[in-house]
Structure 1
Amino acid sequence: MQAIRKRYFPTLAEYIRSGSEASLYEATELGKLLDDIHPEEIIAIHEECMHTLVSNVESEEALQLYNRSFIFLIELMVAYRFRNYPEKSTEQKYTEMREMLFQSHRSFVMVKNKYENVLQHMDSGIALFDGDGILSFINLQMAKLLDIPRKTLVGCTIREILLHPQLKRGTKRMILRLYKEMFLRRSRYYELQDACDRHLLVTVTYGDQLDGDYLISVKDVTEYKQIEQTAYQNDKLAMLGKIAAAIAHEIRNPLTSIRGFIQLLRPHLQQLGKEEYARIIVAEIDRANDIIYEFLNSSKPSAPMKQEIQVDALLKEVTLLTESEALMKNCDIHVETYDQMKVSIDVKQVKQVLLNLLRNAMDAIEDVKGERRGRIDLSARSEGRYVEIKVRDNGKGMDRATMNRLFDPFLRRRRPGPDSDYP
């Protein structure tokens, strides 16, 4: 059996490749050698070889190879039946010939059904139209994409499919668009997005390549599109990182000058009773310098530098940093703490988070039209071992498109509905 397999595969592959009479003659010679092999074993060997031959080809090419292999199998089976043909009467010859053709036809149908079963369960949708535009074959995946039972589609023309009572309006528009692109403009490939936001790649093999038939293949490439979009986004972020690094490097020089001038103004602020402002400005400049240093000198986030701090002191400092901007944007910031609480945190990082939330809240309040004054509530309370800090505002909120991009870098938009919370 192993020797037969070794000879069967190259003989079949040569016929499929060339389709020559010489390679078909080899099928006849091979059939004469199959003495003690049952016909079902021959079909199993044929199926095994075909599975190997079509494992790395597109669906439309696989269908062509299957069709061509049937001729090879029939030629081999005829030779197999006549390998030990004795001298018999004419009636006996006709009887055996009739039986042989019946057996060959049954074997052919068996192989055809197996190949169709393979096509039925492919992940690509496949539809085959004959030269008159009538659908002669459609697999399960294509019927699933159309959301119509496949038995009601076979034998229909494009027009009859479009008039099908179960065809959805969105799918009908998609088919019309495909018909315009693929058959009127003769496009071989076309990409589209369906009502479920799936990205579909449609391929057409035209009649001049498929004995007058038209083969349509539809593949869901949503995952590939997502990978492509992620790679594109990474490229943009890499370029943005280079630009940001250059800008950050230049920002350090004016920050140093500002820090020096604040130190010179500190005695004057002390006379005015505003020494606290000078301290906060210097601390914030130092924090900005630290952030720039970490950005320029580390390829990954550093470990948190934790220290113990009073929560109310943290909230008071954040409020001082934002109160002037809040007044300009017509809003009040109300701070509320329920008890004296201490936490061990990275002060710089948590302070940056709170500043971002407050600025987002002010952006939302500024966009609200009318005379209503904005209000931001900044509160903290103990929750067991943890402290919950909540930012609440009466701004306009974010639409769904903005929410989907919530974690994009440098995006400043808002959330749906007023009076919403940020935990």
Structure 2
Amino acid sequence: MGLIMTPNRLLNSNRWLSFLESTAQGFQLNMTVTSPQSNFYFKTSKICSRCKTEYPDLTLADIRRAQDKMSNLEEFVTNNGSTCIIVEIPGEIIIFALDCPHCLSNNQLILREKAEIASKILSDFLNSLLEGAIGGERAVELSALRQMNQIVLNFFQGQDNAVSYAFNLVLSALVILLDAKGSWLEYQDGDCEVLLIKGEEQAVRQAVKSKGFLKVEAPLQTGSKIGSLGILEPNNQQRAQSLLPLMAQECTIVFEIQRLFELVQAQFANVLGSLRSGVVLINKNKAIIYVNNSFAKLINKPVKDILNMPISDIHAPWISYITEESKLNEAGHMDFWHNDERDYWLNWQICPIFDKEDFSGWILLVDDESDNHQLQVTVRQAERLGVTATMVGALAHELRNPLSAAKGLVQLLARKQDPVKVRGYSDLILKELDRVTGLLNEFLLLGKPSTISSQPLNLTSLLNELLPLLEGEALHYNTKITADFHEVSPIDGDSGQLTQVTLNLVRNAIQAAGDNGKVTVKLKQIGDWVELSIEDNGPGIPPHKESQIFDPFFSTKPHGTGLGLSVVQTIANNHGGKIKVSNLPQGGAAFAVCLPISKRTSTTIVDIALIMANEYRRFPLEQMLRQTGYTVLTIEDIEDHEQEQLIKYRPRLVILPVSTSKAEVIVKNIWPTAQLLIIEQSQTFGEGDRELTYENLDFLYILKETRNMLKYKK
């Protein structure tokens, strides 16, 4: 029996390939299955199980190119511009998986996530199958099969064929696990009778209707559904009798999950209406077609007055994304909104709705966090009062020392007639008074209100400007500074205050690292946050002092004021950010300042910024992109354009005809999150290379690359 179940035999097994077909349909994937050790290729259905359109072609050249260079779960672009991913499973079997381009907007899982789940489930299933064959006993990963079925039902929720796809997996699994001729599931739901078959259909139909066949059946019943699960001519009848009831239980679970989806759909309006969050449905004409009671209460209008109202009549933080017809998921956190003489703070999320590839509208979810905001304000005020009392006491203590010293020197000054000693006392008095002035200046900064001179700011550019100054500071200590700056989204900030933050932290790091030390300044983006971190190889922060490091007047330096890090924390908080400290595993300390990216709603979102001086080439390319459904911003020469005007836009993709370092630097500074497509470079077409120039633009190539980089089709 072990000979039958070798990997190469599996590739030629109709039963195993039927299971792969069921898996592909359930995951909405087109799969091409092959093995480097054979010339065998198997392709699952070319028709998407959800929208019934054809998948893109995967050519033999695509497969060979990927086999030579790619590894497991690595994505690549096929010759026709589609994204494909490689899935490796035991036995040196390789699967190439393609998503349906028409269902991309409806998928809850992206291609990589679906491929990872399919890889794990198929690998676990195949391992169980192969190990069972060798040991003379076949085990089944019921938990893996259950996970697969639940994902399938989630993909197809609301569709009549959802249950069929899930049951196909169960029936296919039974056939290969029990070396059976076929399997079936029959059930009756009221007046409706259903019969699903896998394997040799004619033989199974005869077995279902007649007696005298070698078959095993297990009953199933849930709600109004009554039926049985059966297997025809299993290799081991005793094993079938123990396995079939477990599989029947899986079928019952499938029915229960589907019933829950049906109940939610039947009561959809009641579910939305009972949510605490405000829910709004907006059609593609930007009119409101549904609101629940929570949203009506939020804007203080009856539901009947809101329906058919243009969404633009509600001047709220999300309005720019709808007026600009954004097709992306967007969100806001604690955004301010003034309505009917009242201030609100809102969390919101807006998502586009697609019918296959056609855009239909948006769904908006809104949460009123005004009470939480007021609670936070109250807590901060209480904390501020407590901190103020502590700081005033600490400041009085710190001022007492230099003032007492100055008072004593003045008393000595009155007794001395020697001009030399008088001059010395005068210098000491001035030094102590300078110390008082320094303490008061830093203390005043701590007490400043949280309003800042905020403007869109590119931290990468700011740090590059400060780098020579930081290196100059390091020279005094013979310390080496390393910069590791990544392109990040703009933030709303005060350049002067953030310069002070950077200088304070770098100076502290240089002093901690000491002679021949090393300091690393890093800048990167993590989600909706920009992180500036300064690392040193000094002694680090003593663990028992980490909790006090930001307290006013606390210092680990012999002559430090203890206000520098408090000032840094205050500035970070005033920018809506935070600062954290940690000790590095290799030694030294790391301070990280996290600041939120800019969420200014005045920015206009566009799909493409097309930068091209040649009007005869720019105009037809612009028209082609617009007719395809993309929003386009055209620019003749970015080097001569006013950057204040360009920063008002946020393109997802920038197309440049020529690669010049100056143009690329400008693009990255203004639009750090945008992708860049340079179209004048060698590209492979068929057997040779073509050079894309002004006189030889390949519009089809540009359109394919644009679609691939933007990741969605309008």
| TM-score (ref. length: structure 2) | 0.21
The structure that is strand-richer by fraction is 2
Larger-gyration structure (1/2)? 1
Bigger fraction of residues in helix = 1
